[in-house]
């Protein structure tokens, strides 16, 4: 017991979490990963091998933009921010997620 199991994130779920994490304002990649882990109370961990391809994919989709800046540790880092299209996509994805999880919940309640 004692060990917390870590959940693997599906691509679409990771995209949704990244978009939501950027809603308050720009962040660099490591901070996005840390924030998801913190808010999920250490259940969700985003490894670098998943995070950076997702960030590039979301940027390519036009849902966010990246700019170079300096992190709180004084290092050069790419900061990502949502675009208007990204905010709209976040709304759509969040609605879909809510509908899907409600439907799954109804199926699981079948006895």
> Can you give the residue ranges of every domain in the chain?
11-108
> Residue 89, Cβ neighbours under 10 Å: how many?
20
**What is the per-residue pLDDT across 3-53, written as a single tens digit (0 to 9) for each?**
444 455 566 789 999 999 999 999 999 999 999 999 999 999 888 889 999
Give the E-state strand segments of the chain in sequence order: 27-28, 64-70, 76-82
- Number of residues in the chain: 111
Give the strands of the sheet with 27-28, arranged side by side.
27-28, 76-82, 64-70
Per DSSP, what are the bridge partners of residue 64?
82
pLDDT tens digits along 67-95: 999 988 899 999 999 999 999 999 999 99
Dig out the tokens for 71 from the structure. 């992190």
Which one of 1.10.1060.10, 1.10.10.10, 3.30.1360.20, 2.40.50.140 gives the CATH number of domain 11-108?
Answer: 1.10.10.10
Q: What percent of the chain has pLDDT over 90?
A: 75
Burial class from Cβ neighbours inside 10 Å (0-12, 13-18, 19+) for residue 40 reads middle
**Residue 1, pLDDT above cutoff 50:** no
């Amino acid at each position: 017991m004692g060990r917390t199991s870590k959940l693997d994130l599906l691509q679409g779920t990771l995209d949704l979490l990244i978009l939501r994490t950027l809603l308050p304002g720009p962040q660099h990649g490591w901070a996005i990963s840390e924030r998801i882990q913190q808010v999920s109370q250490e259940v969700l961990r985003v490894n670098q091998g998943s995070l950076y391809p997702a960030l590039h994919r979301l940027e390519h989709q036009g849902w966010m933009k990246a700019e170079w800046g300096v992190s709180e540790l004084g290092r050069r880092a790419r900061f990502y921010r949502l675009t208007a299209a990204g905010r709209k996509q976040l709304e759509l994805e969040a609605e879909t997620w809510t509908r899907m999880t409600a439907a799954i919940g109804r199926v699981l309640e079948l006895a």
